[in-house]
Structures are given as C-alpha cells and as structure tokens.
Amino acid sequence: MSDGSVSSGSASDGSDGLPSDMANPHGHLGTDERSEAGGSLPFTVNRNRSTNQSTSAAARTDASTGWIHFLILYLTLWHELRTAEKPEDKRNVRDRLKREWRKSSDRHLAVLAIHVAVYNFPPDTIFRVPQIALDSLTVSAIFTAATIFYARFLLWKYGGTTALRFMERAGVGDPTYLFFAINSRLPLLTSLISLIGLVIFTLGVAYSRSPAIVVVTCVAVAALVILQLFFDAKERVVDTAVALFRSIREVIAWQTFGILARASLDSRAHAISEVQDAEAHPGNGFSSEV
C-alpha cells in the first residue's frame, strides 16, 4: 500500500520529483544573466552599434566644418567680435574695421581715376590691348565702384557710433556675430577682385610686348606670395590637421571597442546557451535511476 502511495505520489508530482536544479533549467542563472541571455543582449549590441554610427557621423561633420571654421576665423574678425567683452576690446575691433573700410574707399578712388584715364585712351595707342585685358578692366571697374559704395555705407552705418553701440548694431539679428563678421570684410573681397582685374589688364597689355618678362615676373611673385601665406597659416593648418587626426583616431577607437564588445557579448551568450542546454538535457544517467 505504501509502495502504491509512493508511486502515485511520484507520478502526480511529475517534475516535482526531479531535483530542483533539473526542474528549473534557469535555476543557476541569476536575473542579470537571464536578461543578458534574453532581451537585453540585442539591445546592448544595437546600442553599441548606434553609438558607433553617431560618433562616426559626428567626426565626419567635424572634419567637413573644420576647414570652414578655419577660413572664417582666418579671414574675418569673428573671434575678436565674440570675445570682445571689455570696452577697450570693443573699441579696438570697431577702430580696426573703420580703418579697413576707409582705406578701401580711399584706395579705390585712386583706382577709379586709373579706370577713367584708361577708358579715355584713343584706339590707336602704341600698345595693343587684348580682349581679355579689356574684359578684366571692365570687371575691375565694376568692383571698384562696389567697393567704394559698400565701404562708405558701412562707415555711415557703424563709423559714427560708440563701441557699445557698435557691438549692439553688429549683433542685431545674429547674436553670434557671424553674419556681421563676413559682411564687414566684403569691401576687402571686392577690393581684391578689383585689383586682380586691374593687374590682369596691365599684364595683358605688357604680355603683348614682352611675353618672357611677364611670365618670369609672375612666377617669381607667385612663389613669394605662396611662401608667405604658407608661413603665416602654417600654425593654423597644423592645428586643424591635429584636430582631424584626433577625430579619425577617436572613430577608429570606437569602432574597435564596438567590435570587441560585440565579440565578448556573443561569446558570453554562447556560454550561457550551452549551460542552459546542459541543464535542460541532463543525460541518460538520471533516467536509468528513475
């Protein structure tokens, strides 16, 4: 009778008659391990992958905007405008821009006189004027007039103000001063284009008389200008190159970290899976005893 009750009790219990670690395949796994083996593992891998992609995109953006920031800082007074907090700093920025605008206007009044004189030359001059020289002279005249007008406009709008009022007007509509920093250097840009046109006109006329002398002189002057610009901008170029190298190195480090993290997670998930399989299928020894 007792044997029957025992056998019936064993049959009714089912899995309760097994050892606790055999009845619960996850008995040896903690909550963290089960979550990592289940839903948390893909989330961790996806999170690492998205982090790597966002870091790569940020690095590419930094590399593409690095040269733009370099040109803006090198060609404008954007840094001086943003960092001018003391009254003397604001006054220095204002006075520097006023001198540039006044020099551009006065200089191109003389260039305008040259244009007027050249346009009054009779057609039968001793020099032959090529068509490219005439076109360059036309461009130079247009940008000379633009330089005079715009420089005088900036002097009228900003020249007669105090340093504080100057900064307030410069920051209207753009507290970062980026628009004004670019806008305030436009007279220099138009002045440069005007002078280049006048130089091309002069070289075109001279080339028709002595081509060899013009070529040698242009090559020598261009080499000197390039060397001067190289030495002036060397420090900024080196800083930009170092920043770009650091961004690339950071991207490579994140990619390497992501690969190693995924490999580690995959290895751990495989080990946990093997433990679960071993606990779920204990082998033939236990069934023979039962």
pLDDT tens for residues 106-137?
A: 888 888 888 888 888 776 776 778 888 889 98
Euclidean distance between CA atoms 23 and 15, whole angstroms = 6
* Residue 106 within a domain: yes
CA neighbor of 256 nearest in space, from 62, 52, 44: 52
> With contact defined as beta carbons under 8 Å apart, do 227 and 145 qualify?
no
* Residue 264 within a domain: no
* Residue 226 within a domain: no
* Residue 121 within a domain: yes
Residue numbers of the domain that contains 140: 77-200
Least confident of 11-15, 96-100, 257-261: 11-15
Crossing angle of helices 131-154 and 186-207, rounded to 10°: 160
Which of the four pLDDT bands, split at 50, 70 and 90, describes residue 48?
Answer: low
Residue 239 has what pLDDT? 74
Judged against a pLDDT cut of 70, whether residue 283 lies above it is answered with: no
Higher pLDDT: 190 or 234? It is 190
Euclidean distance between CA atoms 17 and 186, whole angstroms = 90
Residue 290 has what pLDDT? 42
Judged against a pLDDT cut of 70, whether residue 11 lies above it is answered with: no
Residue 149 has what pLDDT? 93
The pLDDT tens digits of the residues spanning 192-246 come to 999 999 999 989 888 888 889 989 998 999 899 888 888 777 777 777 777 777 7
* Residue 165 within a domain: yes
* Residue 6 within a domain: no
Judged against a pLDDT cut of 80, whether residue 286 lies above it is answered with: no
Taking residues 280-289, what's their average pLDDT? 54
Of how many residues is the chain composed? 290
* Residue 170 within a domain: yes
* Residue 275 within a domain: no
Residue 224 has what pLDDT? 92
CA neighbor of 74 nearest in space, from 222, 246, 243, 235: 235
Number of separate domains in the chain: 1
Residue 227 has what pLDDT? 87
